[in-house]
Amino acid sequence: MSISGSNREQWGSKAGFILAATGSAVGLGNIWRFPYLAGENGGAAFIFVYIFCVVLIGIPVLIAEILIGRTTQKNPVGSFRTLHKSKFWRGIGGMGVVAGFVILSFYAVVAGWTLGYIFEAVTGNLLNYDIAEEASSHFVELTASPFWNVGLLALVMILTMAIVYFGVQKGIERGSKIMMPLLFVLLIGLMFYGLTMEGSAQGLTYLFNPDWSKINTNVILAGLGQAFFSMSLGMGAMLTYGSYMSRKENVPTSAVWIAVLDTSVALIAGICIFSVVFATGQNPDVGPSLIFRTLPVVFTKMPGGYLFAILFFVALSLAAITSTVSLLEVTTAYFVDEKKWPRKKAVLIIGTITLLLGVPSALSFSPNTSVDVFGFTFFGITEFISSNLMLPIGGFFIAIFVGWIWGFDKVTEYVKEGSEKLFERFPWMIKGWKIVLRFIAPILIIIVLLSSLGII
């Protein structure tokens, strides 16, 4: 069944789609944000809440977003225009395109830090610190350099543009098939290495032995927010990747695989980090600066710290680049579909504009070049608007659209394409998915939005 009639390029295989979509979901949020949130929110108790939210909200909304793309075979704007006449819904699709564009502009700055820290690791600069304050000062000095920040931003964008330039199969899918397995191999190797260190068992206890008394409103909100943001929901990336998906593929099982792999990376990263943090007697709850503030001290104290540091930041960079690729593809797909631009032209123009937009964010960390917007740095305001407003709003309306507006009889027909046997075996899944999209997900996403705005 088709409603688009598109001769759109498609993934070469189901594995290619799953790895590319997992690459979009797996990013700094898994390896950087997840461990420090776990550290701040009681370890195992937070992980339990996070996994519960992934199952309850993440997977149902992910299925909905992929399904919209696969059904229409178009970008976010074209998808909503095809499915509904209202300009409002076209605007929701447009917001996803803009969100992906804005997020890429500042995310590429942070991705640049990970590349920069590969160089710092190779030169041995990360092995000079016995206390966290010294490592933190080094990080502040590096990020205060306009040349360091802008140069690395440019490098990230060049690498990202090169992959997207060659298209879905030859660029994104081929790159994902190399980068994602390499990321898993590196992380698993680092995990086993960390577990061999004396005292690492404390890290495992911290991560997997829950203290249920730690679960409170803040932990639930943190887990809910991380589950939503870590899966790249609401920014048009999964919708766009879904638009390159064959109708023969099973959307629900693909979504589950993406969620499982995404969560696995977060857990493996947590084991990597906390095994060595506890083995070297460091503090697990120092917050967002955990990687850049604590790990250099860990590398200094641990056997083989030089090699561990290099491999860790290579893995972190791979996670970052797979996400920047998906973000650039969202905007590229819009101009290819809607404006009929050749892909190569779209990548070069949009990539260059994104790079230029990212420069003020890159300069936000230098006292001499920072630009304030209503008291926020340019980096801070772009991150806040896109991550705290656009993403939850986008996710909310995707759930509402599929649950209420599209027509659930039609939705049921489309989601069953490629997954008939699954729903024959588990007929209750459709009803459960409908309830989540109509009621549970919208309410919980609104709670995430209000929490991110500091209202609750």
* Residue 5's pLDDT band (cuts 50, 70, 90): very low
Task: Write out pLDDT tens, residues 81-95.
Answer: 999 999 999 999 999
User: Nearest to residue 178, comparing CAs of 25, 343, 15?
Assistant: 15
Task: Write out pLDDT tens, residues 290-334.
Answer: 777 777 887 888 888 899 899 989 988 999 999 999 999 999 999
Please give the DSSP secondary-structure letter assigned to residue 198.
T
| pLDDT value at residue 111 | 93
* Residue 206's pLDDT band (cuts 50, 70, 90): confident
Contacts of 150 (CB under 8 A, 6+ apart): 359, 362, 363
Are the C-beta atoms of 381 and 399 separated by less than 8 Å?
no
| pLDDT value at residue 122 | 96
Query: Which stretch of DSSP H or E encloses residue 247?
Result: none
What is the mean predicted confidence (pLDDT) over 188-207? 88
Rg (CA), the chain: 21
Contacts of 138 (CB under 8 A, 6+ apart): 125, 128, 129, 296
Position 87: which residue type? K
**Residue 372 CB neighbours (<10 A):** 11
Lowest-pLDDT choice from 3-7, 126-130, 290-294, 390-394: 3-7
Strands (E) in 2-97, as ranges, are none
| pLDDT value at residue 368 | 77
Query: Residue ranges of the domains in the chain?
Result: 14-452
| pLDDT value at residue 434 | 97
Task: Write out pLDDT tens, residues 225-244.
Answer: 888 778 888 889 999 999 99
Contacts 24+ apart (CB under 8 A), 430-435: 433/60, 433/63, 434/403, 434/408
Alpha helices in 166-304 (DSSP H): 174-195, 201-208, 217-230, 237-242, 251-279, 295-301
Task: Write out pLDDT tens, residues 100-157.
Answer: 999 999 999 999 999 999 999 999 998 988 787 888 889 889 999 999 999 999 999 9
Q: Is 438 exposed, middle or buried (0-12, 13-18, 19+ CB in 10 A)?
A: middle
Q: How far apart are CA 359 and CA 372, in angstroms?
A: 14
* SS3 (DSSP) at 285: coil
Q: How far apart are CA 402 and CA 405, in angstroms?
A: 6
Are the C-beta atoms of 26 and 316 separated by less than 8 Å?
no
Per-residue CA distances from 92 to 25, 75, 234, 236, 314 (Å): 21, 12, 10, 10, 36
CA angle (262 as vertex; 71, 40 as ends), nearest 5: 130
Q: Which two structure tokens, joined as six digits, stand for 204?
A: 């495992």
**Residue 122 CB neighbours (<10 A):** 14
Are the C-beta atoms of 315 and 117 separated by less than 8 Å?
no
Alpha helices in 217-250 (DSSP H): 217-230, 237-242
What is the mean predicted confidence (pLDDT) over 200-216? 88
Domain 14-452 bears CATH identifier 1.20.1740.10: yes
- CA 251: distance to chain centroid? 19
User: Nearest to residue 113, comparing CAs of 351, 367, 371, 295?
Assistant: 295
| pLDDT value at residue 418 | 94
